[in-house]
Amino acid sequence: MSQHLKEHIEKFIEINDEEFAAVLPFFKSLGAAKKENLVSVGQICRFNYFVVKGCLRMFFLNSKGAEQTVQFAIENWWIADYLSFDNRTRSEFSIQAVEESEILAIDYESQERMLHRYPKLERYFRLIHQKAHSASQSRIKFLYDLSREDLYRHFCNNYPQFVQRIPQYLLASYLGFTPEYLSEIRRKKEW
């Protein structure tokens, strides 16, 4: 399980086996059943989650009471409500397992101790956060700039692994569609 994290870190920085062995105890290994909430609205997001296997999502309830998915995380992706995690405040989001999942989790205090002790990991976390921020900016642009059908087409072309794995109602939630509208777009499939 830890090999996945080591390989991910090595994509961004150099870390030898001895350093990684010293870093690993800062993490907890967790399992999550399908539809299990790791964080619920109103709780503090106590962990930064690294997905080893499975899929997690972050969502909130909109003003109509419908779930609005804002992020997915599959293998080798991180997910947390960083406002809640960093400030130890109540979350406005829930984080839930979409599939049965294996996760490595690190709490705020452990992460701070780890980063103080191994400053090279600051670079790793900075780089993954920059990458995630860039993806978020692109998503916002696409939401404003593309038609609904083009948004779905773009998502299918760029993230085929999600289209095959994620239930249609969750994909619709992420794209800002109703499940019925997504079904209508998929039926057309003229592209």
Six token digits for residue 84: 């809640």
Counting residues of the chain whose pLDDT is more than 70, the rounded percentage is 98
pLDDT digits (tens, 9 = 90+) for 89-113: 999 999 999 999 999 999 999 999 9
Q: How far apart are CA 102 and CA 49, in angstroms?
A: 10
Task: Say what the pLDDT of residue 37 is.
Answer: 98
The pLDDT of residue 188 is above 90: no
Q: Which residue has the higher pLDDT, 42 or 66?
A: 42
CB atoms within 10 A of CB 48: 21
Distance CA 80, CA 3 (A): 21
**pLDDT confidence of 10, banded at 50, 70, 90?**
very high
pLDDT in tens, 66-95: 899 999 999 999 999 999 999 999 999 999
Longest CA span, the chain: 55
Residue 123 pLDDT exceeds 70:
yes
Q: How confident is the model at residue 189 (pLDDT cuts 50, 70, 90)?
A: low
Of 30-34, 48-52, 122-126, 182-186, the range with the lowest mean pLDDT is: 182-186
Q: How many CB atoms lie within 10 A of CB 34?
A: 12
- The structure's pTM equals 0.91
> What is the band of 2 on the pLDDT scale with cuts at 50, 70, 90?
confident
pLDDT of residue 164: 83
Residue carrying the six token digits 């780089």: 127
- Is the confidence at residue 191, as pLDDT, over 50? no
Q: CA 143, 144, 148, 153 torsion: positive or negative?
A: negative
* String of DSSP letters for 10-73: HTTS---HHHHHHHGGG-EEEEE-TT-EEE-TTSB--EEEEEEES-EEEEEE-TTS-EEEEEEE
**Domains annotated on the chain, with CATH:** 2-118 (2.60.120.10)
Nearest one of 98, 106, 36 to 73, comparing CA atoms: 98
- Do residues 32 and 94 lie in contact, with contact meaning Cβ atoms separated by under 8 Å? no
Residue 106 phi, psi (nearest 5): -130, 130
| Mean pLDDT, all residues of the chain | 93
